[in-house]
Amino acid sequence: MKDVSEMYIPTYDDVVAANERIAPYIHRTPVLTSSYLNRLTGAELFFKCENFQKAGAFKVRGASNAVFGLSDEQAARGVATHSSGNHGLSLSYAAGRRGIPCTVVMPRTAPQAKKDAVKGYGGRVVECEPSTSSREAVFAEVVAETGAEFVHPYNDPRVIAGQGTCSRELASQVEGLDAVVAPIGGGGMISGSCLTLSHVAPGVKVYAAEPKQADDAARSFRAGHIIADDAPETVADGLKVPLKELTWHFVRNFVTDILTAEEDEIVAAMKTIWKRMKIVMEPSSAVPLATILKNKDIFAGKRVGVIITGGNVDLDHLPWIKG
Amino acid sequence: MKDVSEMYIPTYDDVVAANERIAPYIHRTPVLTSSYLNRLTGAELFFKCENFQKAGAFKVRGASNAVFGLSDEQAARGVATHSSGNHGLSLSYAAGRRGIPCTVVMPRTAPQAKKDAVKGYGGRVVECEPSTSSREAVFAEVVAETGAEFVHPYNDPRVIAGQGTCSRELASQVEGLDAVVAPIGGGGMISGSCLTLSHVAPGVKVYAAEPKQADDAARSFRAGHIIADDAPETVADGLKVPLKELTWHFVRNFVTDILTAEEDEIVAAMKTIWKRMKIVMEPSSAVPLATILKNKDIFAGKRVGVIITGGNVDLDHLPWIKG
């Protein structure tokens, strides 16, 4: 892994530029509240609903910033990534809006619905075996063949600056926030939130929320260096990936704490949000509420932003229904 | 059945008064759009999201108007209704906000979750046998014992005026509507929509959407008199009840047409809305989209308001998952 000193660390100016660049292609998502959940937690919660975002997740912010920041010459060769989740979908959406090629390398074992979704936005899916070595080999072939620009799902300053536009909107939509809680997987959303909030509202504490069964970020945070788990299993399938040097930079320097929740707590929090707030969101997006419910003393009486990161869930297989 | 000439027919002034009266207790719900569904239908759809309403459905508008319009003397004796659905829940919510008693007569066979929801807002549930005769007998006892004011789920001018506030909001949120499509069961929402729109935007056509398997309103509309079905069965369980004289008055005089959809079309439309719009809503609320998809020629190129009437659905038993 590279040292972060070899990488460009995005600044708040990059977030402002990203906001300008991507505004025509994304939604300014609404902030919802629930009097029931406020009573339940003893806090005032403000849910930033990126499940209503284009392509169904916040990831479209970073992907669009990368795509629309390319020179015409770079853009003509297209973009590429490896992702079986929201980043692949988002990059395909953004490339489609710019009218340039996009290739997403996905394991052949990924659900057909996810492959179809990428294709639905005009992207090309190239399959690899479900192993890191196969993915890297296939991806290298794609890049060699097309000259496409690699857009990493999170360890990329363009992507982090794009994700930072979410907390920028939130801070303008809700006055006097005390804290923001967002899920942490690779750390792109958390890094963008730290980047923005440390500039526009430095008193706001940033908490990362992680499944206990994939708590590599929490353990990294306590150890003082990156720890990567080997194939963690969690219902919050967007949060299995490890930190990388750029996101680690933001986590170690700006995050107040990383809180964890058990699988059953995540599923219960997800179902409560569906039932009470009437919104469809992913298991990953329920981890913040699950951790708030376990740590009421931290948040009692506080005004807390909660990032609902995405809404792309398999409606045929909901985690509280045994099939 | 009484003739409508014996009843008070609410006017637009009653809608304005209702709006003033209930504003502190209800949400001004958002209007959502979906570029995907616009492409799919060829129309511009504006979804009025009453699934985000207090108590999870538009019914709280009419119930609140009835409850907060009572004199202090009437209010002290409380309110009562028979309903195993959103009206019972809404009346319990409104009574709780005013701090007066509410009794809801429900069949003992109704789901425990529905009974608990009424109690959760402070209402009292009195059980009857699942027959009309038992319901009427038990309800008469309740009223004799308490002196409570009966608030009918829809055949009540206070309730219809309250429901009329929904289209009033919609017309102020979306300019230049050509049509509004709303589900029809007993006809409270449709009547309120007709009442309001015929006054504030008389060029807007009102379409009612009904399950083919419970198409008593459509058959009444064609026959020119009320036809009531005997125990219709449909996944859209909020739409099984028949028209009554007051709602029939609005339907026969102001509705442009009543469109119907099959069960599988309703379920498919519901799943599409959950998947694409990321909102949780009831099967009844999917009937409008199902009918629009079947009648694209009527709505092509038009600006169409679609009332998402409620979001109270059993998350453990979704109609597209065989359990």
pLDDT digits 0-9 by tens, B196-255:
999 999 999 999 999 999 999 999 999 999 998 878 899 999 999 999 999 999 999 999
Task: State whether A315 and B274 contact (CB < 8 Å).
Answer: yes
Higher-pLDDT residue of A3 and B59 is B59
Predicted local confidence at residue A6, as pLDDT? 86
Which positions in chain B touch A274 (Cβ < 8 Å)?
280, 315
Does A321 contact B at CB distance below 8 Å? yes
- A266 vs A210: CA distance, rounded Å: 10
Residue B278 touches chain A, beta carbons under 8 Å? yes
The gap from C-alpha B303 to its chain's centroid, in whole angstroms, comes to: 22
Contacts of A280 in chain B (CB under 8 A): 274-275, 278-280
Q: Report residue A197 CA to chain centroid gap.
A: 16
CA distance A183 to A218: 12
Q: Point out the residue among A278, A315, A316 whose CB comes nearest to the CB of B279.
A: A278
The answer to whether the CB atoms of B280 and A278 lie below 8 A apart is yes
Nearest to A278 among B52, B316, B320 (CB): B52
The whole-number pLDDT of residue B123 equals: 97
Q: How far is A9 from chain B (nearest CA, A)?
A: 34
Q: Among residues 225-244 of chain B, which lie with CB inside 8 Å of chain A?
A: none
Burial A37-60 (b: 16+ CB within 10 A, else e): beebbebbbbbbbbbbbbbbbbbb
CA distances from B323 to B145, B274, B316 (A): 43, 19, 9
Per DSSP, the residues of A182-245 read EE-SSSHHHHHHHHHHHHH-TT-EEEEEEEGGG-HHHHHHHHTS----SS---S-GGG-SPP-H
Q: Determine the residue of chain A that is closest to B276 in CA distance.
A: A56
What is the per-residue pLDDT across B2-20, written as a single tens digit (0 to 9) for each? 788 889 999 999 999 999 9
Which SS3 state, helix, strand or coil, does residue B83 take?
coil
Yes or no: say if A166 and A63 are a contact pair by the CB < 8 Å rule. Answer: no
3-state secondary structure (DSSP) of residue A313:
coil
CB B293 within 8 A of CB B271: no
Contacts of A3 (CB under 8 A, 6+ apart): A245
Inter-axis angle of helices B157-173 and B59-68, nearest 10: 130
Contact A314/A113 with Cβ under 8 angstroms?
yes
Given B278, B281, B316, which is nearest A311 (Cβ)? B278
CA separation for the pair A280, A282 (Å, rounded): 7
From CA A31, how far away is CA A48, in angstroms rounded?
Answer: 5
For residue A121, the chain B residue with the least C-alpha distance is B36
Across chain A, which has 323 residues, the per-10-residue mean pLDDT values are 85 98 97 96 98 97 98 98 92 98 94 91 95 92 97 98 98 98 98 98 97 97 92 92 96 98 98 98 98 98 98 94 78
Cβ–Cβ contact B153 with A under 8 A = no
Secondary structure (3-state) at A256: coil
What's the distance, Cα to Cα, between the start and end of chain A in Å?
41
Q: What is the pLDDT of residue B132?
A: 84
Band (B141; pLDDT cuts 50, 70, 90) = very high
Q: What is the dihedral of CA B128, B56, B219, B295, to 10 degrees?
A: -160
Instruction: Name every chain B residue with its beta carbon within 8 A of the beta carbon of A323.
Output: 321
A162 CB-contact burial (10 Å; exposed 0-12 / middle 13-18 / buried 19+): buried
- Angle at alpha carbon of residue A181, lines to A179 and A187, rounded to 5°: 125
Distance CA B313, CA B323 (A): 15
pLDDT digits (tens, 9 = 90+) for A142-179: 999 999 999 999 999 999 999 999 999 999 999 999 99
Question: Among candidates B183, B224, B185, B170, which has minimal Cα distance to B309?
Answer: B183
DSSP H helix total and E strand total for chain B? 14, 10
Q: What is residue A3's predicted lDDT score, i.e. its pLDDT?
A: 80
Q: Please judge whether A278 and B56 are an interchain contact, meaning their C-beta atoms are less than 8 angstroms apart.
A: yes
Looking at residue B278, its pLDDT comes to 98
By 3-state DSSP, what share of chain A in percent is helix, strand and coil, each rounded to 5?
A: 50, 15, 30
Q: Would the pLDDT of B42 be above 70?
A: yes
State the smallest CA–CA distance between residue A277 and chain B in angstroms: 7
Task: Assign B111 a pLDDT band (cuts: 50, 70, 90).
Answer: confident
| CB-nearest partner of B30 from A30, A318, A323 | A30
- Is the CA virtual torsion A271, A273, A274, A276 positive or negative? positive
Q: Angle B59-68/B12-22 helices, nearest 10 degrees?
A: 90
Name which of A31, A280, A316, A317 to mutate to probe chain B: the one with the most chain B Cβ atoms within 10 A of its Cβ: A280
Q: Residues of A277-303 as b/e, b for ≥16 C-beta within 10 angstroms?
A: bbbbbbbbbbbbbbbbbbbeebbeebb
User: Residue B50: closest CA among chain A residues belongs to which residue?
Assistant: A278
d(CA A54, CA B31): 17
Closest Cβ–Cβ partner in A51, A320, A323 for B278 = A51
CA distance A119 to chain B (A): 15
Q: Is the pLDDT of residue B88 over 80?
A: yes
| Phi and psi at residue A57, to the nearest 5° | -165, 155
Please say if the pLDDT value at position B323 is more than 70.
Answer: no
Q: Do B321 and A321 touch (CB under 8 A)?
A: yes
Sheet holding B79-82, edge to edge: B124-128, B102-107, B79-82, B149-150
> Which residue of B51, B273, B278, B315 is the best one to mutate when testing the A interface, meaning the one whose CB has the most A CBs within 10 A?
B278
Per-residue model confidence as pLDDT tens digits over A236-258: 999 999 999 999 999 999 999 99
What tokens does B18 get?
A: 């209702």
Does the CB of A254 have a partner CB in chain B at under 8 Å? no
DSSP A149-167: EE--SSSSHHHHHHHHHHH
Nearest C-alpha of chain A: how many angstroms from B200? 28
A323–B318 C-beta distance less than 8 A: no
User: What structural domains and CATH numbers belong to chain B?
Assistant: 4-57+156-308 (3.40.50.1100), 60-150 (3.40.50.1100)
Nearest CB to A271: which of B30, B271, B315? Answer: B315
Evaluate the CA torsion angle B117, B167, B14, B18 in order and state its sign: positive
Strand B31-32 to B44-49 pairing: antiparallel
> Does A274 touch chain B if contact means CB atoms closer than 8 Å?
yes
**Per-residue pLDDT tens for A291-302?**
999 999 999 999
Chain-chain contact of B56 with A274 (C-beta, under 8 angstroms): no
Looking at residues B138-167, what average pLDDT do you find?
A: 97
| CA–CA min distance A244, chain B (Å) | 31
Residue-level pLDDT at A229: 82
Q: Least CB-CB distance to A315: which of B56, B271, B316?
A: B271
CB contact under 8 A, B51 and A311: no
pLDDT of residue B179 exceeding 80 = yes
Give the separation between CA B100 and CA B92, rounded to whole angstroms.
9
Sorted by sequence, the CB contacts under 8 Å of residue B75 that are 6+ apart come out as: B67, B98, B100
In chain B, the residue whose alpha carbon lies closest to the alpha carbon of A308 is: B278
Helices and strands in chain A, H and E counts: 14, 10
Averaged pLDDT score across all residues of chain A: 96
Touching B: A residues 56-115, CB under 8 Å: 56
Residue numbers in A near B311 (CB within 8 A): 278
Question: What DSSP string describes A85-135?
Answer: SHHHHHHHHHHHHHT--EEEEEETTS-HHHHHHHHHTT-EEEEE-SSHHHH
Q: What is the chain B residue with the closest CA to A35?
A: B54
For chain B, what's the residue count? 323
Asked if A323 is an interface residue toward chain B (Cβ–Cβ < 8 A), one would say: yes
What is the C-alpha separation between B155 and B142, in angstroms, rounded?
20
Determine whether the interchain pair A279/B275 forms a contact, defined as Cβ–Cβ distance below 8 Å: no
